[in-house]
Amino acid sequence: MPAMTQELVERSVTELADIDWAARAAALRPETELFIDGKFVAARSGARFADHSPRDGRVVAEVAFAGEADVDAAVLAARRAFDKGGWRAAEPAWRKHVLLRFAELIEAHREELALVETLDVGKPIRESLTVDVPACAQAVRWYAELIDKTYGEVAPTGPDAIATISREPLGVVGAVVPWNYPLIITAWKIAPALATGNSVVLKPAEQSPLSALVLARLAAEAGIPDGVFNVIPGDGPVTGAALGRHGDVDKLAFTGSVEVGRAFQRYAGESNGKSVSVELGGKSPQLVLADAGDLDAVAEAVTWGVYYNAGQTCHAGTRLVVDESVREPLVERIIARTAEFTVGDPLRWDTVLGPVIDEAAARRIREHIVEAESDGARLATGGRPVPPATAEAATNYLAPTVLDDVPNSSRAARAEIFGPVLCVQPFRGTETGVRIANDTPYGLAASVWSADISQAHRVAGMLRAGTVWINTYDASAITTPFGGFKDSGHGRDRSRHALDNYTAVKTTWLAL
C-alpha cells in the first residue's frame, strides 16, 4: 500500500469526516498563471477566463488563458530543454530520483490537490483525497521506478556486426486532457512521457485547470529542469488547436471525446504529421448471463460501475445487458441499491455522488432520459434533479437513474450520456447478449458475469473492448494497460505499454 494511502487509512474516518472541508476550500489561494519554462507567467495578451465550480456555480479563480503566442513560448521552452539534454540525457538514476521526489510532493500536498480537484470537478472530497491524489502519485512513482530498469535489445546479426535496438524519447509531447479525472489522466500521460526523457506541454481542460498548475509547481520543486514540464490552461478551439497544429510538437497524447480526438488526428495530418494517440469515449456493457450467481454482488458492482463520479467516466458501465431469466431480481436489487447513493455537496465527507460538471451537461442528460422514454424505455428510478443543501437553485445534482427496457436502437443505448444513468437491455440466449453488448460504435470496456468460468472466459474473448472484467467491474492497476478499440481510440495508457506512446525504436549498427 502506498505510504499516503496507509496514512489515510490510519487517520480515522471520523477525523477526516470532522474536517470542515468547505472552510478549507474557502481559504485556498489556487495557482492561476501559466507555467512556462519553470516560471508562473501571465498570458502575453493578459487574457483570463473564469473557472466555475460545479458545486455552486461560483467562480473559483480567474485563470490565465494561453493564446497562440503562449503556446508557442511553451513549445519553444520545451524544445530548448529537450535539445539541451539536461533531462533527456541525464543519468537514469537521477531522473528516477527527481520523479520519486515529485511523487512524494504530490502526496505531501494531497489536501491542496484534493480540494482544487473537488472544486473544479465536483467530485466528492473523499474520492479526491483517497483515490485521485494517491493514483496520481502512484503513477508518477511507478514510471519513475521503471527508468533505471528498462533495457534495450541486441539484434541477431551474425558475427560481423553488433546492432542495438534502443528506445529514444520523441521530443516535445503535447498532452491534452479532459475534466473528468484531471489528476489521474494527467499522470497517465506525463509520467511515462517524462520518465522516457521527453519535454511536455500540458493543456488541462478549461473546466479543471487548477490541479495541473499545482503539479507544475511541485514538479519544479522536485527538480524537474526548466522547460521540461509546462502547463498552459486555455480552451479547445484556441489553445488546444494551437498545440495540436504546432509544427514543433512531436507527439500528441489526447484523452477526451471522439469528435475532438478526430480533430487532433486532423491537426497532425495538416501540420507536421506528428504521432497521435487518442483515448476516447465509451458505452460499456455489463453483460450478465443466466448463471451470474450472487446477484447482490452483481448489483453492487453494476451500481458503482455506472454511478461512480456521477457517471462521468469514459468506461462507466452504462448498459446492463442482462439475461431475461435474472433480469427482474437483479433490477430490483439495483433499484434498492441506487436509493442508497447519496447525492450532495462534494465538500461533505459522506457524499457519494456530487453534481455533474455544469447545468448544460445536466440538461443534456435529462434530454437523453426523456428521449429514451419516448423510444419505449421505462423510467424505473431517478430521472430528476436533487437540489442540494448548499445550492438550492442548482439543477446539476442528478438522482442516479435506471432506465429499463431500453431498445438498442435508442440513442440512450448507443451514445455517451456521461451522467448517472443505467440503461437496462434484456436478452434471451448468450449469443444474443454478446451481439447486443458489442453493438455500439465504442469498445473501451465491458464485463461479463457468469459462475461458469469457462463460459465467462469464452465470452470475454468475444467482447470487443480494450478491457474486459470477469465477475467484477472497474478493477484496475497501473500495471495493466487501459485504452479502447473502435471509436474508443487507440494507444494505451498505464503499464509498460504506455512507453510505446512516448518513444521511438532506434537501431544502431556497428560493423566489426
DSSP 143-206: HHHHGGG---EEE---TTEEEEEEEEE-SEEEEE--SSSHHHHHHHHHHHHHHTT-EEEEE--T
Query: CB of residue 96 vs ligand NAD: minimum separation in angstroms?
Result: 26
CB 114 within 8 Å of CB 133:
yes
* In the block, residue with C-alpha cell 509547481: 217
Residue with smaller CB distance to ligand NAD, 122 or 281:
281
Burial letters 294-313, b for 16+ CB under 10 A, else e: ebeebbebbbebbbbbbbbb
Q: Which of these is catalytic: 15, 279, 324, 416?
A: 279
DSSP H helical segments within 57-168, as ranges?
A: 68-84, 92-108, 110-121, 125-127, 133-146
Annotated catalytic, 279? Answer: yes
Map grid coordinates 539534454 to a residue. Answer: 85
What is the nearest approach in angstroms of ligand NAD to the Cβ of residue 283?
A: 9
As measured in angstroms, the least distance from the Cβ of 401 to ligand NAD is: 18
Nearest distance, CB of residue 441 and ligand NAD, angstroms? 12
Give the integer Cα–Cα distance in Å for 361 and 382: 16
Residue (61 or 205) nearer to ligand NAD, CB: 205
The SS3 assignment for 404 reads strand
Q: How far is the CB of 416 from ligand NAD (least distance, A)?
A: 5
SS3 299: helix
Residue pair 287/437 in contact by the 8 Å Cβ criterion: yes
Cβ nearer to ligand NAD, comparing 327 with 486: 486
Say how far apart CA 40 and CA 30 lie, in whole Å.
12
Least separation in angstroms between residue 263's CB and ligand NAD is 5
> What is the DSSP-derived secondary structure letter of residue 356?
-
Q: Which three cell numbers stand for residue 319?
A: 448498459
Q: Please count the residues of the chain.
A: 512
- Residue located via cell numbers 549498427: 509
In what helix (H) or strand (E) does residue 230 lie, and over which residues does it extend? Answer: strand 229-231
For residue 332, the minimal CB distance to ligand NAD (Å) is 30
Query: Which residue lies nearer to ligand NAD by CB, 36 or 330?
Result: 36
Interacting residues with ligand NAD (CB under 6 A): 176-181, 185, 203, 205-206, 235-237, 240-241, 244, 255-257, 260, 263, 279-282, 314, 416, 444, 484, 488-489
Q: Between 110 and 283, whose beta carbon lies closer to ligand NAD?
A: 283
| Residue for grid cell 478549507 | 24
Cβ-based nearer residue to ligand NAD, 136 or 185: 185
Distance CA 413, CA 422 (A): 9
Of 253 and 335, the one with the shorter C-beta distance to ligand NAD is 253
List active site positions.
279
